[in-house]
Every structure is written in C-alpha cells, then in structure tokens.
C-alpha cells in the first residue's frame, strides 16, 4: 500500500537546529507544511550537496510556510559535529534530525536494512500530517530542490483550492483544471 494520504506515524527524535538540540514528535508537524528529506549518512559525498541545495532554497520554502527536515540514521551529536566542520552543512538553517534507532526511516519505508542507512527519500507532508508527495532515489542519484519547490506549491494550491487540480508541468500562476462532467472524455 502506498504511504500517500496516510498519517505520519508517531515518533520521537532529537534534532540539531540553530545551535540547539530540540525534541520533535509527530505533533511538531501539525499546522504547517513539512518536507522530510532522508539521506544516507553524515560526512559522505552526495548528501552535503543536496542539503546545501536545500539550504540555498530555504528562504523560499520559508516564504511558503514550509519547514524542511534533514534526516539520517546518525545521532544529533554527529549532526552538530558535521555542522561545525563542513562548509556546506554550515549553511543549513533547518533542523537536522537524528534517527539512530531507524524508527523514522522505517516509518517512511526508506531503511536499507542490511546497511542501517536511509535511501534518498523526500516526503511532502500537509499541515494535517498526511503525506501528499513522495519520491525515492537509489542512493547515487541526487535530488533537485527546485523540483521539490514546484511540487510543494502544487500540493499547496490543490489543498487551498478545492475543486481544482494541477495539470502536468503546472507551475505557480499557471491555469488549473476544474473537474466537471463536461470535461469527461473531452480533453
């Protein structure tokens, strides 16, 4: 069964965020849009470029009222140390969540059991805590923050305009479709 439209399962985690250790639960997600960005491991190769790409676009996510969460099976201690020592990660202003038990990675079905590491999974979660978009890459294939932004905007548009749907390659400001019996079989 797909995770789409399911509720985020209960969890407890500690994140490193702006020089502090903060506790998070599924309740922390309620009331605003969230993006969960899983990556395999701190101190590795593709990961910092992806996290940096998100950091560079963070202002725009913020403008949309979206919080971004970077998540790996490392501890929050390792996240702080990485943040302290990596030029790329230093730019990250969003929370880096420690998941050493793998609870989150398993809840979102991105755990590679034989390695104890997460796949590159991205999840857009609405303010009610439901997953609306998911995307998982095999670990060598990097993600693109601007694609993610487009999806977030489409998801937000649909959520706030009941009765409209976003057609293919929809971007902000483009026309949407209003489902009606007349359109059936006519496009």
Q: How far is the CB of 62 from a copy of itself (least distance, A)?
A: 19
For a copy of itself, the closer CB: 67 or 126? 126
CB of 114 to a copy of itself, least distance (A): 7
Q: Please, what is the minimum distance in Å from the beta carbon of residue 134 to a copy of itself?
A: 5
Give the shortest CB-110-to-a copy of itself separation in angstroms: 6
Question: DSSP letters of 21-49?
Answer: EEEEEGGGGTTSEEEEEE-S-TT-SHHHH
**Beta carbon nearer to a copy of itself, 65 or 142:** 142
Give me the catalytic one of 47, 68, 118, 155. 47
Quick one: 63 or 182, whose CB is closer to a copy of itself? 182
- 12 or 32: whose CB is closer to a copy of itself? 12
Phi, psi torsion values for 147, nearest 5 degrees:
-65, -40
Q: Which long-range contacts (CB under 8 A, 24 or more apart) does 45-52 make?
A: 46/120, 46/139, 46/140, 46/142, 47/72, 48/86, 48/88, 48/89, 49/88, 49/142, 50/120, 50/142, 50/143, 51/88, 51/89, 51/92, 51/96, 52/88, 52/89, 52/91, 52/92
47 assigned to active site: yes
CA–CA separation, 16 and 151 (whole Å) = 26
Q: Give the three-class secondary structure for 108.
A: coil
- What residues act catalytically? 47
């Amino acid at each position: 069964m797909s995770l789409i439209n399911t509720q985020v399962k209960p969890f407890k985690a500690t994140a490193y965020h702006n020089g502090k250790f903060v506790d998070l639960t599924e309740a922390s997600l309620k009331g605003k849009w969230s993006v969960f960005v899983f990556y395999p491991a701190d101190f590795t190769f593709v990961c910092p470029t992806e996290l940096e790409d998100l950091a560079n676009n963070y202002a725009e996510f913020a403008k949309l009222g979206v919080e971004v969460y970077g998540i790996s099976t490392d501890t929050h201690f390792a996240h702080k140390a990485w943040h302290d020592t990596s030029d790329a990660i230093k730019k990250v202003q969003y929370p880096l969540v420690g998941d050493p038990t793998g609870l989150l990675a398993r809840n979102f079905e991105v755990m590679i059991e034989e390695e104890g590491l997460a796949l590159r999974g991205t999840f857009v979660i609405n303010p009610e805590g439901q997953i609306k978009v998911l995307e998982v890459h095999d670990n060598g294939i990097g993600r693109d923050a601007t694609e993610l932004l487009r999806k977030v905007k489409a998801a937000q548009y649909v959520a706030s305009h009941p009765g409209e749907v976003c057609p293919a390659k929809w971007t902000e400001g483009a026309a949407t479709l209003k489902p009606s019996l007349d359109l059936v079989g006519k496009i």
